[in-house]
Amino acid sequence: MVGAVLLRGGQVLGEGYHREFGAPHAEVAALAACPDAEGATCVVNLEPCSHLGKTPACTDALVAAGVRRVVFAVRDPHRAAAGGADALIRAGVEVECGLLREQAAALNAPFLWAETRTERPFVALKLATSLDGFVADEWHKSQWITGPEAREHVHWLRTGFDGVAVGRATAEVDDPQLTARGATVPRKQPTRVVFGRSGLLDPKLRLVRSAGEISSVLLVDPGSRSQAEDRLTGTGVRVVAGEGLVGKLHELRAMAIRSLLVEGGPRLAAELLERDLADRIYLYQAPILLGQGLAAFATRQPVRLDAAVRWVPVERKAFGDSNLIVVDRKICLPE
């Protein structure tokens, strides 16, 4: 997600953002909105690219327009696109890097992670809880804890991830479709992923029945693979085996799933946290009290208050009657 602003003498001349994959980059969109950028400063959250990709190099466009100074927040670790700052300096443009660096890194955390790490996808947990911290009532009903505005936001959130995952119990109890069905239609639906050591996924579930149309993966232990394959023959579900959570996540990365949104349940979420395999949490909190129920991370070991890791809040928003807080384990900063 990239946005750019062109300024001169404290006045905004033009603004632009990268609307979608393959569309003009933010800097080019801002230049298109500005009749004369001679001597201007361009402020942008990612280092301008210096390569010819789906669109021409932004550095060339900035230089050609006569931009005098470029201020960007984080370097672009993408192998082909990197080096924009050096190209601008060589062309005589003044360059500054680091403005609001942490905020900019959080904005594009899955991208920055995936460009520099290959052992697993960027993993984000998404959970909806009551005020007293439950993700389902005492009778395991969780539909719906939050209101329609928060649920619409989840559909938008899914469009930004390569994969959307749940634990096998959630797949069975909630029978979710795990597709992005909001106002923003993704170029391609995220791959649906179910974590289940046993491989005992019910073929009657909606996500199994639609696996012919939307890529769907069941992640099992190596010993359960053949049983799972027998059970799901002809459904289109791809059975992938991996040792432990680390091995399973590694298999997803090898399938080019660079970012994964894990939508519970609490047992899977707790195991990911316990093994330090979660990078971000999207926590939607609804103004209801359930008294008893399924606690958000029930199976975690107790942690002493003075030893608890303090996550970094990167976003807070209200959706209808519910609040969203987004926290990162730590900010992933490129060099």
- Distance (Å, rounded) from C-alpha 316 to C-alpha 312? 11
By the rule CB under 6 A, 127 interacts with ligand NAP: yes
Task: Provide the token pair at 61.
Answer: 């466009």
Bridge partners of residue 283, in order along the sequence: 127, 325
Range list of H helices, the chain: 26-32, 58-64, 84-90, 101-107, 109-116, 148-159, 168-174, 206-209, 225-232, 244-254, 266-274
By the rule CB under 6 A, 60 interacts with ligand NAP: no
Decide: 1 and 107 in contact? Cβ < 8 Å. yes
Spatial neighbors of 226 by CB under 8 A, at least 6 apart, are none
Q: Which is nearer to ligand NAP, 59 or 142 (CB)?
A: 142
By the rule CB under 6 A, 329 interacts with ligand NAP: no
What angle is formed at CA 22 by the lines to CA 86 and CA 16, rounded to 5 degrees?
65
**Contact string (CB under 6 A) for ligand NAP, positions 143-182, x = contact:** --x--------------------xxxxx--xx--------
Q: Which is nearer to ligand NAP, 65 or 217 (CB)?
A: 217
By the rule CB under 6 A, 231 interacts with ligand NAP: no
Which sequence positions are flagged as catalytic?
A: 27
CB of 298 to ligand NAP, least distance (A): 7
DSSP state of 181: -
* Residues in binding contact with ligand NAP, number by CB under 6 A: 28
CB of 262 to ligand NAP, least distance (A): 9
Question: Which residue number places its CB atom closest to ligand NAP?
Answer: 265
Task: Provide the token pair at 182.
Answer: 């909001």
Decide: 205 and 175 in contact? Cβ < 8 Å. yes
Decide: 168 and 145 in contact? Cβ < 8 Å. no
- DSSP assignment of 284-295, as one string? EE-S---SSEEE
Stretch that binds ligand NAP, among 27-35, 83-91, 190-198, 302-310 (CB under 6 A): 190-198
- Distance (Å, rounded) from C-alpha 176 to C-alpha 173? 9
**Contact string (CB under 6 A) for ligand NAP, positions 192-211, x = contact:** ---xxxx-x-----------
Cα-based distances in Å from 191 to 6, 152, 203: 38, 19, 18
**Contact string (CB under 6 A) for ligand NAP, positions 279-308, x = contact:** ---------------x--------------
Q: Which is nearer to ligand NAP, 142 or 179 (CB)?
A: 142
CB of 213 to ligand NAP, least distance (A): 23
Give the number of residues written for the chain.
Answer: 335
Stretch that binds ligand NAP, among 25-33, 116-124, 134-142, 226-234 (CB under 6 A): 134-142
Stretch that binds ligand NAP, among 78-86, 94-102, 110-118, 259-267 (CB under 6 A): 259-267
Q: Which is nearer to ligand NAP, 3 or 190 (CB)?
A: 190
Applying CB under 6 A, which of residues 165, 264, 286, 328 lies at the interface with ligand NAP?
264
- Distance (Å, rounded) from C-alpha 136 to C-alpha 314? 26
Task: Provide the token pair at 37.
Answer: 């950028």
By the rule CB under 6 A, 278 interacts with ligand NAP: no
Q: Which residues of the shown chain bind ligand NAP in the complex (CB under 6 A)?
A: 127-128, 135-136, 140, 142, 145, 166-170, 173-174, 195-198, 200, 245, 263-268, 271, 294
